[in-house]
């Protein structure tokens, strides 16, 4: 009596062998596919670090990506318009705070800004200085006081960096701050306006700008706008 497995003869055996071979190939393919996870499961490649000395943009000119909007209580509106971050007049401070990593020493920050409306500071730039922080105030105390807050407990209206500059409404100004181990320097439209040594000085901020830590921009009861916000780590040859 013929066995069920042989009743179709050699042709059936060839078919079974072919099916077994196909199954083996599928198993091998399955094993290979398991060796590499799907694209969405693979670890993301880290963003290339910007070389020292090269400027890195912190603002894309279109959105507030990379920034948060803290609330001082009674803050004005914050939005992006025509390539700039606008911080409208509020009842106190209005501003944005950067959410990425920033250096503590040996770096520069640059931006372009203006007072759109109001009579107090249109740019309060808070930035790291070693393990502490400091603020550059442009146009405070009635609209014209410029200085660093705070040095040895004295704010921008009281310490040796204090000066008076009459800012024009709706005019863009270029601002650059350099922080090194030895000094804090500030340029306004390429003119150096502040050059103060750090040694044996107490560096701090006023409590009003704490929401700007570690790096932030704010206005005080004033509509200000800022754009072209950049940062770079200083190369050894510039220190």
Q: What is the pLDDT of residues 61-100, one digit of tens each?
A: 999 999 999 988 999 999 999 999 999 999 999 999 999 9
Does any domain span residue 30?
Answer: yes
The terminus-to-terminus CA distance of the chain in angstroms comes to 98
Same domain, 23 and 60: no
Same domain, 164 and 233: yes
Same domain, 13 and 111: no
Phi (first) and psi of residue 120, to 5 degrees: -125, -165
Contacts of 41 (CB under 8 A, 6+ apart): none
Same domain, 155 and 66: yes
Distance CA 14, CA 39 (A): 39
Does any domain span residue 51?
Answer: no
Distance CA 196, CA 185 (A): 7
Residue 141: DSSP 8-state: T
pLDDT given at position 25 = 44
pLDDT given at position 184 = 98
Same domain, 28 and 72: no
Q: What is the pLDDT of residues 101-141, one digit of tens each?
A: 999 999 999 999 999 999 999 999 999 999 999 999 999 99
For 43, how many CA atoms within 13 A lie in the half-sphere containing its CB?
Answer: 3
Same domain, 140 and 23: no
Does any domain span residue 231?
Answer: yes
Does any domain span residue 41?
Answer: no
Does any domain span residue 158?
Answer: yes
Distance CA 102, CA 215 (A): 8
Same domain, 81 and 166: yes
Does any domain span residue 44?
Answer: no
Do 58 and 98 form a contact (C-beta atoms < 8 A)?
yes
Same domain, 77 and 109: yes
pLDDT given at position 20 = 53
Q: Which of 45-49, 133-137, 171-175, 205-209 has the lowest mean pLDDT?
A: 45-49
Alpha carbon 133 to chain centroid, angstroms: 16
pLDDT band at 50 (very low <50, low <70, confident <90, very high): confident
pLDDT given at position 96 = 98
pLDDT given at position 155 = 97
Strand partners, 109: 177, 231
Top-confidence residue, 23 or 233: 233
Same domain, 92 and 189: yes
Bridge-based pairing of strands 78-81 and 67-68 is unpaired
Same domain, 106 and 224: yes
Do 215 and 128 form a contact (C-beta atoms < 8 A)?
yes
Do 108 and 215 form a contact (C-beta atoms < 8 A)?
no
How confident is the model over 26-35, as a mean pLDDT? 42
Structural domain total, the chain: 2
How confident is the model over 194-208, as a mean pLDDT? 97
CATH number, domain containing residue 199 = 2.60.120.560
Pick from 148, 190, 140: which is nearest to 165 by CA? 140
pLDDT given at position 49 = 75
pLDDT given at position 48 = 56
Does any domain span residue 90?
Answer: yes
pLDDT band at 46 (very low <50, low <70, confident <90, very high): very low
Same domain, 14 and 61: no
Percent of the chain with pLDDT over 70: 80
Q: Which domain covers residue 91, as residue numbers?
A: 56-238
How confident is the model over 199-215, as a mean pLDDT? 96
Which token pair is 222? Answer: 């004033």
pLDDT given at position 43 = 45
Distance CA 73, CA 52 (A): 38
Pick from 143, 138, 80: which is nearest to 113 by CA? 138
Does any domain span residue 186?
Answer: yes
Residue with tokens 């704490």: 210
pLDDT given at position 137 = 98
Same domain, 110 and 30: no
Do 99 and 68 form a contact (C-beta atoms < 8 A)?
yes
On the question of pLDDT at 10 being above 60, the answer is: no
């Amino acid at each position: 009596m013929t066995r069920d497995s042989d009743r179709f003869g050699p042709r059936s055996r060839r078919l079974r062998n072919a099916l077994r071979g196909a199954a083996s190939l599928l198993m091998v393919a399955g094993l290979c596919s398991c060796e590499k996870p799907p694209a969405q499961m693979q670890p993301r490649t880290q963003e290339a670090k910007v070389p020292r000395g090269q400027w890195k943009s912190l603002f894309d000119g279109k959105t507030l990506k990379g920034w948060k909007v803290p609330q001082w209580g009674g803050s004005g509106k914050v939005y992006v318009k025509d390539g700039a971050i606008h911080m409208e007049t509020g009842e106190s401070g209005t501003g944005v705070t950067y959410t990425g990593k920033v250096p503590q020493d040996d770096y520069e920050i640059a931006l372009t800004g203006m007072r759109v409306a109001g009579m107090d500071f249109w740019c309060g730039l808070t930035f790291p200085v070693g393990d502490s922080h400091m603020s550059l105030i442009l146009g405070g105390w009635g609209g014209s006081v410029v200085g660093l807050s705070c040095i040895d407990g004295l704010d921008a209206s009281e310490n040796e960096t204090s000066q008076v500059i009459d800012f024009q409404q709706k005019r863009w100004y270029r601002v650059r701050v350099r922080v090194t181990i030895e000094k804090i320097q500030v340029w306004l439209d390429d003119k150096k306006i502040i050059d103060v040594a750090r040694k044996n000085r107490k560096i701090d901020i006023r409590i009003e700008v704490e929401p700007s830590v570690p790096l932030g921009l704010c206005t005080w009861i004033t509509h200000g706008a800022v754009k072209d916000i950049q940062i770079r780590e200083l190369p050894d040859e510039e220190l």
